[in-house]
Amino acid sequence: MYLVFSLVMLFVGGTMAMVIRSELLSPGLQFVNPDFFNQMTTMHALVMIFGAIMPAFVGLANWMVPLMIGAPDMALPRMNNLSFWILPFAFTILLSTLFMAGGAPAGGWTMYPPLVLQTGDAFPFLIFSIHLMGLSSIMGAINIIVTIINMRAPDMSLLKMPMFVWSWLITAYLLIAVMPVLAGAVTMLLTDQFFGTSFFLAAGGGDPVMYQHIFWFFGHPEVYIMILPAFGVVSEIIPTFARKPLFGHDSMVYAISAIAFLSFIVWAHHMFTVGMPLTGQLFFMFATMLIAVPTGVKIFNWTATMWRGAMTFETPMLFALAFLFLFTIGGFSGVMTAIVPADIQYQDSYFVVAHFHYVLVPGALFAILGAVYYWLPKWTGRRYDEKLGQIHFWLTAIFVNVTFFPMHFLGLAGMPRRIPDYATQFSDWNFVASIGAFGFGLSQLLFVYIVISCMRGRGEPATAEVWDHPKGLEWTVPSPAPYHTFEEPPRIPSAQTFS
């Protein structure tokens, strides 16, 4: 249900992206007025982050974590149900703001005061829906941690756990640590607006920059909440199709833990231009660059896993490989933006838009698509059409680059982000990016067709193993997996680690 919900939200957020790219297809104002354009950029981000990427990974965790650790189901099924059903309500509230007086929130997903306090009737609904999303995430995270800690097969020690389970354990701790921070920040916004407080209002002695600090103390770990499970997925897919065990399983665990720790001490790199002391700039610059070390360990380990492996290139593997190449591009532009003097130039330009879309689309989204192809036969009992899967991959991979790569050039040439109109010198690359975006959006309809075909029982029946001798407990149960698995805890050979 999480996965279906996130697919629907992917298309809702995608439609908003199409509105944005239609407006930016050529210079001048064509289709929408500037205020509505700003509503679209804000809502696109909120819907994609909280409605598409996060619920998709929670959905994968709900389905796969119990199977991978040898548990019958999640530890707290009722809380699971509640945490899911909060989401449709939260997003109905959020999307209904499009029809309210003053329109939807338009101050950006970061909701910086004092701008966000100018939102019309939508403001309290925005705050309420953010609280609901946070509540849902925290409950989901509690459930995942409790399941992993308490429900593992008796022989499965922590360091024997598959990487996807490890990545989710760490992500869930991150969620519990930072979602309350966001809730606290938006609660203070609410009281500033309606109850006469001045947490962030300079006129009342408050500090608007403090909001930015608090928001990004949530916001940067949030980036890793969206990417660590992707690391887990890729660490499952690559060993299966390279037919080798994951190189450096334990070092992967330590690398993910290091990334999670570092994510708490780099938040101010999102706000280098607020006028912080030089020592602060230097600290946050070097701390940010340090993240490249554990990330490099992971990229090295994935590459070493493939080294001299008997590789085949089915659709999940193609998505995992594209993840490796394209996420690294996003990582490199991240190191570029971490350099303070350079960042002052990149700040608020399309270069930043290019950077985070490379991290989130060929990063997080490709991992989700790869995971769906990888586990779809296990869920539905049917193999997807490999040829269509490959076509979907190539269309997606080509269009994603056509869409987002030109944004680097636009940013470096000085095009600011969050604008509905631009100077004519930017028109060529904007045209290319818009065409890429339309192609990318249309290609995803093929994905929906492939998934629905499997769900409706078309395609060859899948065996329990599905792939060529993959490792992991999920491949020991029949396809489709029964509602409750491992009523008797499975026994695991003492030397075996998974993935």
Partner 1 sequence: MKKGRRSPGSVRATALWLAAIAVAIYVGFILLGVIRG
Instruction: Please report whether residue 435 would count as binding partner 1 according to CB under 8 A.
Output: no
Structure tokens at 195: 């109850």
Measured CA to CA, the distance from residue 172 to residue 38 in angstroms comes to 32
Instruction: Please report whether residue 195 would count as binding partner 1 according to CB under 8 A.
Output: no
Three-class SS of residue 416? strand
Please identify which residue in 114, 180, 439, 480 interacts with partner 1, judged by CB under 8 A.
Answer: 180
Calculate the CA 278 to chain-centre distance.
32
Amino acid at 497: T
DSSP letter for 364, please: I
* Number of residues binding to partner 1, judged by CB under 8 A: 38
Instruction: Please report whether residue 82 would count as binding partner 1 according to CB under 8 A.
Output: no
Please identify which residue in 45, 68, 145, 329 interacts with partner 1, judged by CB under 8 A.
Answer: 145
* Closest distance of CB 178 from partner 1, Å: 8
Please identify which residue in 25, 82, 210, 342 interacts with partner 1, judged by CB under 8 A.
Answer: 210
* Closest distance of CB 75 from partner 1, Å: 5
The residue among 96 and 150 lying less far from partner 1, judged by its C-beta, is: 150
Q: How many other CB atoms are found less than 10 A from the CB of residue 293?
A: 12
Structure tokens at 474: 């999920």
Instruction: Please report whether residue 187 would count as binding partner 1 according to CB under 8 A.
Output: yes
* Closest distance of CB 264 from partner 1, Å: 12
Measured CA to CA, the distance from residue 205 to residue 52 in angstroms comes to 38
The residue among 151 and 255 lying less far from partner 1, judged by its C-beta, is: 151
Instruction: Please report whether residue 199 would count as binding partner 1 according to CB under 8 A.
Output: yes
Amino acid at 251: S
The residue among 106 and 188 lying less far from partner 1, judged by its C-beta, is: 188
From 1-9, 258-266, 323-331, 482-490, span contacting partner 1 (CB under 8 A): 482-490
- 468 backbone φψ class: left, alpha, beta (φ>0; ψ -120 to 50): beta
* Closest distance of CB 200 from partner 1, Å: 7
Instruction: Please report whether residue 177 would count as binding partner 1 according to CB under 8 A.
Output: yes
Binding mask 337-366 for partner 1 (x = CB under 8 A): ------------------------------
Cα–Cα nearest to 76, from 7, 145, 17: 145
* Closest distance of CB 205 from partner 1, Å: 8
Q: How many other CB atoms are found less than 10 A from the CB of residue 201?
A: 17
> To 10 degrees, what angle do helices 77-96 and 2-23 make?
20
Residue ranges of alpha helices (H) inside 151-207 are: 163-194
Three-class SS of residue 382? strand
Calculate the CA 484 to chain-centre distance.
28
Instruction: Please report whether residue 114 would count as binding partner 1 according to CB under 8 A.
Output: no
Q: Which residues contact 92 (CB under 8 A, 6 or more apart)?
A: none
Instruction: Please report whether residue 79 would count as binding partner 1 according to CB under 8 A.
Output: yes
* Closest distance of CB 201 from partner 1, Å: 9
* Closest distance of CB 206 from partner 1, Å: 5
Instruction: Please report whether residue 141 would count as binding partner 1 according to CB under 8 A.
Output: yes
Instruction: Please report whether residue 181 would count as binding partner 1 according to CB under 8 A.
Output: yes
* Closest distance of CB 217 from partner 1, Å: 8
Structure tokens at 229: 């499970």
Instruction: Please report whether residue 206 would count as binding partner 1 according to CB under 8 A.
Output: yes
Instruction: Please report whether residue 179 would count as binding partner 1 according to CB under 8 A.
Output: yes
Cβ atoms of 159 and 189 within 8 Å: the answer is: no
Measured CA to CA, the distance from residue 170 to residue 292 in angstroms comes to 18
**Burial degree of 225 (CB within 10 A; 0-12, 13-18, 19+):** buried
Q: Please identify every residue annotated as catalytic.
A: 44, 73, 109, 136-137, 220, 222, 224, 235, 269-270, 295, 298, 417
From 27-35, 112-120, 179-187, 396-404, span contacting partner 1 (CB under 8 A): 179-187
The residue among 174 and 451 lying less far from partner 1, judged by its C-beta, is: 174
Measured CA to CA, the distance from residue 71 to residue 437 in angstroms comes to 41
Amino acid at 400: V
Instruction: Please report whether residue 214 would count as binding partner 1 according to CB under 8 A.
Output: yes
Instruction: Please report whether residue 75 would count as binding partner 1 according to CB under 8 A.
Output: yes
Nearest 5°: the CA angle 371, 372, 376 is: 120
From 117-125, 185-193, 418-426, 443-451, span contacting partner 1 (CB under 8 A): 185-193
By CB under 8 A, what part of segment 146-175 binds partner 1? 146, 149-151, 153-154
Q: Which residues contact 462 (CB under 8 A, 6 or more apart)?
A: 377, 378, 380, 381, 382, 383, 479
Instruction: Please report whether residue 143 would count as binding partner 1 according to CB under 8 A.
Output: yes
Structure tokens at 242: 């390279």
Instruction: Please report whether residue 200 would count as binding partner 1 according to CB under 8 A.
Output: yes
Cβ atoms of 248 and 304 within 8 Å: the answer is: yes
Q: Using CB under 8 A, list all residues that contact partner 1.
A: 71-72, 75-76, 79, 138, 141-143, 145-146, 149-151, 153-154, 176-177, 179-181, 183-185, 187-188, 197-200, 205-207, 210, 214, 487-489
